[in-house]
Amino acid sequence: MIFEPTSDDYNKYISFLEIMSKLSRLFSESDIPFINYRFAENLFCRCFNAENLSRSDTAFDAKINTLGIGIKTFTIPNKSSYEKIAEFNKLSSHLKLLKPHELAHSLSVFRNERISLAKRIYGISESIYHIVARQKSKIILFETDYSQIDLNNVSDINSTDKSLFFHDNINCYKYSYSKSTLYRKFILPDNTISIDINILKDPFELLSELSNIIKQRDLIPATEASSFVILPLYGRGRKVYEKSGLNQWNAKGRIRNIGELYIPIPSIIHKYFPDFFPSKNETFDLKIPTGEIFSAKICQDNGKALMTNPNKQLSDWLLRNILQLREKELATIEKLDLLGFDSVIINKIDHNKFTIDIMKTGSYEKFIASQVDKSL
């Protein structure tokens, strides 16, 4: 396993899992411990000093050096359970037209491309799944392979009214037609760590006792909450225009550098976050997930563009490395949907320091909708 069973990190990790499991009656009457998936991700990253990748919602939830980690928590009544590993909502209209063998192959290709995408973004060379499985009065920890689907061995393809089943001689998969979701079968191995859990009958009494302790602790003032915005990689009508945005290099007029592009900043972002970015043409640091720092600035009329200097840096990262487009190959919404992202998140560290990462398809729309709701 990632951790040594005798290490301080391991002991801390187990201790927090036990505490949260004992509080399960806050959420459920079941005898099966309740562990929220976000808690599992955040706890793992804190205890093992891993980089938390969960916000971007790519193929991996955490990273330790060049090791990518998928963190999952689920109930496993017997020896196995099918669990969600990818959604293909934006591709569902295309996928529903395919015959079972074509569908199994396409799903495998799409899943592999999303794993490869995450590896490119975060500089990952190896990967595993870390599992927090839950049974009655028990937590079971184990790790298993995080393999791409073997395209040469996709077989035993079986279609029912609701699902498509197949395997690749490594793992079994299931695709739900109605949810456009791919699942993988996780099997309990022989070498697991089992932790008995005694769930508190009335955890609300404990919360009452904690109230006075919490008052004496340092709390995060509202003004110190992390600040971020989400920007679309497309324009109005959810289109990636051929001569602007990611394809600015293709615009007419003056001679343009092949790496010229910008990330659109819709006017509504400036409306709700007028002081988020520095002033127009004021340079600031923009850190990409691998740690490289670009010199960036807000450009064009009404501050509608995020660019880097040289602009080729942003182009090499986003078009060449992430989207893997050839020079003079147009970026398209279809390409973004295939890879499962259409937005980027910009985190503000301070006035001159920002970070950038990709966000899954639909993130910008949800972000704007939440801001509109807040303003009502």
49 in Cβ contact with 14 (< 8 Å): no
Distance in angstroms (rounded) separating the CA atoms of residues 56 and 347: 12
Q: How far is CA 253 from its chain centroid?
A: 39
Q: Which amino acid, 349?
A: I
331 in Cβ contact with 367 (< 8 Å): no
Question: Which residues in the chain come in under a pLDDT of 50?
Answer: 224-226
Taking CA atoms, 324 is separated from 321, 328, 334, 365, in Å, by: 5, 12, 14, 25
**Continuous H helices in 52-202:** 92-95, 100-122
Side-chain half-sphere exposure of 337, counting CA atoms within 13 A:
15
pLDDT score, position 225: 44
Taking CA atoms, 42 is separated from 51, 192, 195, 305, 354, in Å, by: 10, 22, 20, 33, 22
Q: What are residue 190's phi and psi, to 5 degrees? A: -75, -35
Q: Which two tokens stand for residue 95?
A: 């996928």
Count of Cβ atoms closer than 10 Å to residue 366 Cβ: 12
Q: What is the DSSP string of 228-268?
A: EEEEESSBTTTB--TTSGGGGGG-SSS---TT---EE--HH
Distance in angstroms (rounded) separating the CA atoms of residues 181 and 45: 26
Query: Burial code of 28-45, b = ≥16 C-beta within 10 A, e = fewer?
Result: eeeebbbbeeeebbbbbb
Per-residue pLDDT tens over the stretch 321-345:
999 999 999 999 999 999 999 999 9
Per-residue pLDDT tens over the stretch 18-43:
999 999 999 999 999 999 999 999 99
pLDDT score, position 224: 47
Proportion of the chain in helix, strand, coil states, percent, rounded to 5: 35, 30, 35
Q: What is the pTM of this model?
A: 0.89
Distance in angstroms (rounded) separating the CA atoms of residues 133 and 319: 39
pLDDT score, position 15: 95
Side-chain half-sphere exposure of 329, counting CA atoms within 13 A:
9
Q: What are residue 40's phi and psi, to 5 degrees? A: -60, -40
The 8 Å CB, 24+ separation contacts for 233-237 are 233/263, 233/264, 233/331, 233/336, 233/341, 233/342, 233/343, 233/344, 234/264, 234/333, 234/336, 234/342, 235/264
- Percent over 70 (pLDDT), the chain: 95
pLDDT score, position 1: 64
147 in Cβ contact with 373 (< 8 Å): no
Q: Which two tokens stand for residue 214?
A: 């919490």
Q: Residue 285: beta bridge partners?
A: 295, 353
44 in Cβ contact with 143 (< 8 Å): no
Element (H, E) at 40: helix 37-47
Give the three-state DSSP class for 10.
Answer: helix
326 in Cβ contact with 258 (< 8 Å): no
Distance in angstroms (rounded) separating the CA atoms of residues 249 and 247: 5
